[in-house]
Amino acid sequence: MICEDRVVIVTGAGRGLGRAHALEFARQGARVVVNDLGVGPSGEGGSDGPAQAVAEEIRALGGEAVADRSDIATDEGARRLVATALERFGRLDTLVNNAGFVRDRMLVNLSEEEWDAVTRVHLKGHFLPLKHAGLHWRAESKAGRPVDARVVNTSSGAGLLGSVGQGNYSAAKAGIVGLTLVAAAELGRYGVTVNAIAPAARTRMTEEVFARTMAAPEDGAFDAMAPENVSPLVVWLGSAESKDVTGRVFEVEGGRICVMEGFRHGPATDKGARWDAAELGPRIAALLTAATPPEPVYGA
């Protein structure tokens, strides 16, 4: 078991990907804080049920788990979540930021409230648990106690490549990549690695919008969209084995794992002086011809 005795927080762990992650961490020996507000697919309502059910499922398997309903998009909620791990299990080794919901609209129909709600739960809901976990690990490191900690963030193909009708979600998921890179750079000195995944799986957020793609096979074939396919990578990234991997983004779908390669310096031109806007057309065209085509290609 690659996570034996590690203490892991998983946010949004009451259903879907988060539930699959929590159960796989438990199977691999971790003690798990199961965080979930029990809200609906668009963030409505709330219930203790989902988090409690997953915690009970883990205990039924012989593992250790505690349910938590802290609102991770508030400073107090995120602080309390980290405190729950420390008070219940005496330590914190891994944070998996997974919680989120969608409110899809085309940009011209997207309300300010829908923008704020989605960016709050995804982006702010990654930042605040990361901040409070980071504060704990920094204090441990400065006190001379060894830290071998992991953070696994959840981005999306929508954040890496864009997704029509998901401007709020795509922007938040792209922001999570930027946050991951900054956190990897800042927290490495304290013994913390920070990576992100961009999963494709069947969840409440995808099973209706992408119904055909997400449908389970009827012939007993490999179910490529099962959320459980994503969890082995998350658990490995949350284990001691991944200590040399940080600042990376992995796309994962079914049995496929891909290291995503984001912005990097490509073709360039330098005049050595200020450009005149009227002369840039041919130069920009030459740069774009020499550059790797973007994914996906728009306007074709």
In angstroms, what CA-CA distances link 240 with 77, 94, 147, 151, 192? 27, 10, 11, 12, 11
Identify the CA nearest to 42 among candidates 163, 214, 204. 204
CA dihedral for 265, 270, 273, 278, sign (positive or negative): negative
81, 129 in Cβ contact below 8 A?
Answer: yes
Select which of 170, 173, 231, 242 is catalytic. Answer: 173
Select which of 70, 155, 156, 239 is catalytic. Answer: 156
Select which of 70, 169, 170, 231 is catalytic. Answer: 169
Report the first-to-last Cα separation within the chain, whole angstroms.
49
Asked about 298 being catalytic, the answer comes back as no
- Give 39's contacts (C-beta < 8 A, 6+ positions apart): 45, 46, 47, 101
Asked about 190 being catalytic, the answer comes back as no
CA dihedral for 261, 257, 229, 183, sign (positive or negative): negative
Asked about 169 being catalytic, the answer comes back as yes
Q: Using CB atoms within 10 Å of the CB of residue 273, give its burial: 0 to 12 exposed, 13 to 18 middle, 19+ buried.
A: exposed
Q: Catalytic site residues?
A: 156, 169, 173
